[in-house]
Structure 1
Amino acid sequence: MRRTLTSAVLGVVSALLLSSCMGAAGGGAAADGPPVRGGNLDVAVPTDPQSLDMVANPGQVTAHIGNMMYEKLFEVDRTFTARPMLVQDHSISPDRLTYTFRLRQGVTFHDGAPLTANDVVASLQRWQRAHRTGQLVSPDIDSITAPDPATVTIHLKRPRYPLIDELAGAGTEIYQAKNLAGVPPTGFGQDKAVGTGPYKLKSWDIGRELVLERHPGYASRTEEDWGGQAGAKHAYLDTVTYQVVADQDALINGLQTGQWHHAMPTNDQYETLRANPAVVVRHLPGGNENVVIPNFNPGSRFADPRARQALNLLLDKPAINAATGGSKDLTVETGAFASPDNKAFYSTAGDEIYRQHDPEKARQLLAEAGITAGATIRIVTTNSYPEFAKWAVLIQDALAKLGIGTKIDTFDFATMLGTLTKEPGDWDLTTLFFDSALTSPAQMPALTLGTLNGSSSPELDALMAEYNASATPEQARAVVDKFQAFTWRQLSVITLSQSKLYAACSPKLKGYGDFYRVFWNSWLAS
């Protein structure tokens, strides 16, 4: 991913990133018997990570593999609550302007070097410069310093309510300071993919497979059973092999024959897999916000707000969801940008706009925006996530009924992202999904798309400032409805639905905490 896009699409797919809120959390060690140490876990992933630099490339697969290798000051537990990870303890001054973090002792990087406060400072300063969330947080930060090798201090210019949640978010992974010197926007190479996590990089055959092996010097927290990405990490498996399987038929065949121990298939495979006794289907926490993104930049036909309003009226969202969403168990028809389980951010504001469907009114508004029969809409999408391409075709069909043509350009995921940023005005629509369980507005792509589609605005900036100035959860929650109402008025994204997530696993996979691709407490039955 290019840096501009990574800024805009933080947590995409997600990832994906990460890609997530409060689902079933079973499958732990107590249910699966005593852990077994050793063996290799085979995991099917839809695309090569292409980079293990989670600032330069926060896509879903990169994030999930990176979470096995890197750690942060704080991590999210199974309910997406921030918990201390590399932090032993911390304090906040009464004026909420000074945060002091004391680091855990005995933590080492994969090469044996000890973790120091200088590594944390270098990593967080890079986050400020190069990651979209960090860039949004940065104006509130006066300094990040290391008073001594075990202490990090963040001084703020003004209080920032979600700071701890943001430090638990993507992009704040702690790398060695020496490996960050002179790193280009495209990120560091394999040789610098060094973290403090329970697994380290063993080999990488780009485009085919990536193998992690246990970090023998890993210093786990003690016995905190927080789940998610936090707490004790036992690293029972010797290795974890991620195999790139882009074809869904091959993915399903591999699951049925035991070739893979874990996969996250598309939703339209859910019913088939659930009925297969050779496969265990696990519901995962959280979900994705499925979106169509109009381009606000000059040169795009959707720079005109009437065109965006028309598109929202034209799309038959229930029909699109029925055609691509698979089981009703996995699809929630809502215009919210947060999962219904994400209590802090779920909102019904703008629901009346989400549910509008009036093709004739859409035709009228498109004409007013200069888009009439014979015009061509440019859609950029990818087959790396098949839903994206399906949505593009359904949009094409809807426009064709009005006599409006489309040009669909389909790329692999990374090329698609690069295409969107190369010429900001050279596309009209794209299709993506976003993690719907993030816990700070600065982490939410639906609110931070300005660097991708030109949708930044003073009103949105003011709402961000209002949220950050909150002193209580009640004050912060009151701003959430304003965020979502504004998003539906502006139509920076058009939400199709929320998708719940699931994994399909081999019965041999034990100790899996039903959290994306987190396997450090998993083992294989003998």
Structure 2
Amino acid sequence: MTTSLVRRRIPALAALGGVTTLLLAACMSGGAAGTAPDGPPVRGGNLTVAVPTDPQSLDMVANPGQVTAQIGNMMYEKLFEVDKTFTARPMLADTYTTSPDRLTYTVKLRRDITFQDGAPLTANDVVASLERWRKSHRTGQLVSPDIDTVTAPDAGTVAIHLKRPRYPLIDELASPGTEIYEAKNLTGLPATGFGQDKAVGTGPYKLKSWEIGQQLVLARYDGYKTRSEEDWGGQAGAKHAYLDTVTYKVVADQDALVNGLQTGQWDHAMPTNDQYETLKANPALVVHNLPGGNQNVIIPNFAKGSRFADPRAREALNLLVDKPAINAATGGSKDLTLETGAFASPDNKAFYSTAGEDVYRAHDPERAKKLLGEAGVAAGATVHIVTTNSYPEFGKWAVLIQDELSKIGITTKIDTYDFATMLGTLTKDPAGWDLTTLFFDSALTSPAQMPALTLGTLNGSSSPELDGLITEFNASVSPEQAKSVADKLQAFTWKQLSVITLSQSRLYAAYTPKLKGYGDFYRVFWNTWLAS
């Protein structure tokens, strides 16, 4: 048996921030980043955090949005979590072993872990949670064919038996959707998932109150048992829960968000990139880049009846869109915008790829007009774009695409919804839209996690060739082999244009200097405190 406690996460391609999970590798100083020692931790107080949208649900399988995920990370835990360098570390797992044939993973759970209602964590809870992930979460559905069984040999042990070796399995067990819930709360759930009363995890904070559309409050779970003192950062390692409460205020308007930061209404926010220079210039705030990024994309619909079902229309759209102009109009500071067609950040040396870069940089409006005509999208046709202003850049991209199409005589109808309604509209009527705009997390680590590669259920872009490449990646035995397949996957995506990448955006946070112990990792606050 081979024993492993830590597995290097493989920064492969790029993944979602909304459809599957809205959520890079290097941290880059953006402003008055706190480099001085923060001093001794202070226990107590409330941290107020502005978020762009209500989470809608705290069920990370039924509603895997970015805000849901980042609030959920405070409440729930997985067998494995990612640290600040996106390395998979054991969290609820104490140790695990892999059989020599790589077909059996045996996970020993940490002892004396309890849920926030006082119930003990058992292997049956893990089995029930992973079985639901396999059935109902998109990543789990893609991993599931390689899994034979997930069983509980005893109350403290979970055994995962595979049908074939799966190179990224531990990474996938650290991905959104694999949170461990109480088995009793997972029976008979509707497709919309569980309600507030069953939002119970093993994490350092529990749900205290929730005014839908207004604010959500988490309170310290006093029964939380931290790992020892591993300083792993990110979502892994020791969690001290210094704050009494964390209040998430829903602030959809960016002007209100910036004003609230500057007047002290909220302590932390992750504003849009066009606010970066304004906030960076304010000496009363800390502005710092985060270890993550977004792949900004246009998604054409492959479904029959869509204007972009014809590959010539997708090629035309890529040639028509002036990516540098769109990026300049919506990307904010050049510190934050990377003009690249890559799925992974250039910081992710092992998996950054230039495959398809020539397609990304191609721009020829005259040829685009000709190809659209050949595809039956001639002057006078109407293109239907579905978007949201919950993330303002999505709506801005839609308007700029509308302008590009109007220049060649194509009419555009834009429907704008809140984020959850937008996603529901896309899936409810698969042939009722032509384009949508989204971003994907560029730090996720296996093809099964990456919406750019798994959009088939949303836009009909599945294909046997793509499935074969994903199978080839999963069968890899080394980082070098996986990297080679990642190159192929990126090249294929630019060939079929299941997404059209506009750019990558670096993320940043703006927060009060009173916030200490913050590891500049999204909305992770269990080791933070407020200085007096």
| Contact 1:64-1:517 within 8 A present in 2 as well | yes
Task: Give the fraction of aligned pairs with identical amino acids, expressed as a percent.
Answer: 79
Distance 2:162 2:509 in 1: 41
Alignment of 1:279-318 (within 5 A): 279-318=285-324
What SS class does the counterpart of residue 322 from structure 1 fall into?
A: helix
Does residue 177 (structure 1) correspond to residue 180 (structure 2)? The answer is: no
How large is the Cα RMSD of the aligned pairs? 1.4
Distance 2:350 2:445 in 1: 8
Distance 1:251 1:223 in 2: 35
The Cα of 1:31 is off from its aligned counterpart by: 1.9
Q: Which residue does the alignment assign to 2:6?
A: none
Q: Which residue does the alignment assign to 1:442?
A: 448
Report runs of 4+ in structure 1 exceeding 6 Å deviation: 25-30
Distance 1:125 1:385 in 2: 32
The Cα of 1:339 is off from its aligned counterpart by: 1.6
What SS class does the counterpart of residue 301 from structure 1 fall into?
A: coil
Q: Which residue does the alignment assign to 2:233?
A: 227
| Contact 1:70-1:174 within 8 A present in 2 as well | yes
Does residue 19 (structure 1) correspond to residue 26 (structure 2)? The answer is: no
Task: State TM-score, norm by structure 2.
Answer: 0.95
Size of the alignment, in residue pairs?
517
Structure 1: 5+ residue runs without aligned partners? Answer: 1-9
Distance 1:405 1:14 in 2: 27
Distance 1:45 1:285 in 2: 18
Q: Which amino acid aligns with 1:478?
A: S
Does residue 243 (structure 1) correspond to residue 249 (structure 2)? The answer is: yes
| Contact 1:15-1:63 within 8 A present in 2 as well | no
Does residue 367 (structure 1) correspond to residue 373 (structure 2)? The answer is: yes
Distance 2:257 2:355 in 1: 39
Structure 1, 21-30 or 488-497: larger mean CA deviation? 21-30
| Contact 1:16-1:435 within 8 A present in 2 as well | no
Does residue 348 (structure 1) correspond to residue 358 (structure 2)? The answer is: no
| Contact 1:21-1:436 within 8 A present in 2 as well | no
1:308-327, Cα deviation, whole Å (9 max, x unpaired): 00000000100100000000
Q: Which residue does the alignment assign to 1:524?
A: 530
Of the candidates 400, 410, 421, which is equivalent to residue 404 of structure 1? Answer: 410
The Cα of 1:12 is off from its aligned counterpart by: 2.8
Q: Which residue does the alignment assign to 1:425?
A: 431
Alignment of 1:15-164 (within 5 A): 17=21, 19-24=23-28, 31-164=37-170
Q: Which residue does the alignment assign to 1:188?
A: 194
Of the candidates 466, 486, 492, which is equivalent to residue 492 of structure 2? Answer: 486
Q: Which residue does the alignment assign to 2:275?
A: 269
What SS class does the counterpart of residue 32 from structure 1 fall into?
A: coil
Q: Which residue does the alignment assign to 1:476?
A: 482
What SS class does the counterpart of residue 247 from structure 2 fall into?
A: strand
The Cα of 1:110 is off from its aligned counterpart by: 0.2
The Cα of 1:11 is off from its aligned counterpart by: 5.6
| Contact 1:286-1:341 within 8 A present in 2 as well | no
Task: State TM-score, norm by structure 1.
Answer: 0.97
Q: Which residue does the alignment assign to 1:7?
A: none
Of the candidates 196, 203, 214, which is equivalent to residue 208 of structure 1? Answer: 214
1:33-69, Cα deviation, whole Å (9 max, x unpaired): 1100000000000000000000011101000000000
Distance 1:97 1:201 in 2: 38
Does residue 329 (structure 1) correspond to residue 335 (structure 2)? The answer is: yes
The Cα of 1:338 is off from its aligned counterpart by: 1.4
| Contact 2:33-2:287 within 8 A present in 1 as well | no
1:202-240, Cα deviation, whole Å (9 max, x unpaired): 000000000000000001001000000000000000000
Q: Which residue does the alignment assign to 1:4?
A: none
| Contact 2:20-2:138 within 8 A present in 1 as well | no
The Cα of 1:329 is off from its aligned counterpart by: 0.1
Q: Which amino acid aligns with 2:435?
A: L
Distance 1:449 1:253 in 2: 37
What SS class does the counterpart of residue 94 from structure 1 fall into?
A: coil
| Contact 2:15-2:295 within 8 A present in 1 as well | no
Q: Which amino acid aligns with 1:293?
A: I
Q: Which amino acid aligns with 2:277?
A: E
Distance 1:462 1:408 in 2: 36
